[in-house]
Amino acid sequence: MAQRFKITIEYDGGGYVGWQAQDNGPSVQETIEQAIHAFSGERVRLTTAGRTDAGVHALGQVAHFDLKKKITPHQVMAAVNAHLKEAKVAVIKAEAVDENFSARFSAARRHYLYRILNRKAPPVLDHGKVWHVPQKLDAEKMHAAAQALVGKHDFTTFRSIRCQAKSPVKTLDRLDVERLGEEILFRVSARSFLHHQVRSMVGTLKLVGLGKWTADNVTEALEARDRTAVGFNAPPHGLYLIRVEYREGQTPA
């Protein structure tokens, strides 16, 4: 009988085509599946909490898989990481879970962080890890405008045309914007998101920070339910999936 394992994963999304396995380059999913096969001899298919795009990073991505091989969670983590030494991916935690656990469907809330480096000089150590915006941004105005997006809304305006979600209606639990030194940080939480929703909201709030838009403009864009009502998406390399929250009782085996 197979054992289901839940793994928490950290990765640098640069150099990957995203989480999901694709034909046009290496993916995070494929990289981990190959590592699991290398030590177990079994072909597994990972189910994930969120399919991050190319360039998006993760500090706490979650996935699950079933394995027939008799092995402990600690051994799973060590064995997978031993085969990921050349990759920008690591399993930071492994747990044995009940067969009813789903990394995707058991998730109660997903938490994202978006980082803007707001200074004249470009990033060096954080190159590829932040969105560099040299023009001065007003974080307080951005935060105030962001509150119009919190709650249950039709987010069609902030949805990718390639989004496969059945409904554009989502409930945004949190969208906080704050300045921390030279960085402006966006902390975003919801049970689920539309494709490109976070990046689209950040791109729109940048206009507020520059003084080109007001809070009323953000509300009008939301109510328009029209993708052309916003200008652009923030680039993927400033976005991090930092944590996935699960309902109590959905993790231990």
pLDDT class of 250 with cuts at 50, 70, 90: low
- At the topology level of CATH, where does 3-105 sit? Alpha-Beta Plaits (3.30.70)
**C-beta separation of 74 from 92 below 8 A:** no
Domain ranges for the chain, please list them.
3-105, 108-242
Catalytic residues: 53
Architecture of domain 108-242: 2-Layer Sandwich (3.30)
pLDDT class of 130 with cuts at 50, 70, 90: very high
Q: What is the pLDDT of residues 13-67, one digit of tens each?
A: 999 999 998 888 999 999 999 999 999 999 999 999 999 999 999 999 999 999 9
Concatenating the DSSP letter of every residue in 102-115 gives -TTTTEEEEEEEEE
Q: What is the pLDDT of residues 66-112, one digit of tens each?
A: 999 999 999 999 999 999 999 999 999 999 999 999 999 999 999 99
Going through 49-201 in order, the beta strands assigned E by DSSP cover: 57-67, 89-97, 107-117, 131-132, 151-154, 169-180, 183-190
Residue 249 is predicted with a pLDDT of 59
Pairing relationship of beta strands 89-97 and 3-11 according to DSSP bridges: antiparallel
Residue 100: helix, strand or coil by DSSP?
coil
Residues 190 and 177: their CA atoms lie apart, in Å, by: 15
Handedness of CA 169, 50, 73, 1 (dihedral sign): positive
Percent of the chain with pLDDT over 90: 89
Segment 115-123 shows an average pLDDT of: 98
Topology alike, domains 3-105 and 108-242: yes
Alpha helices in the chain (DSSP H): 28-40, 73-82, 139-146, 197-209, 215-224
The H-or-E segment that residue 8 falls in is: strand 3-11
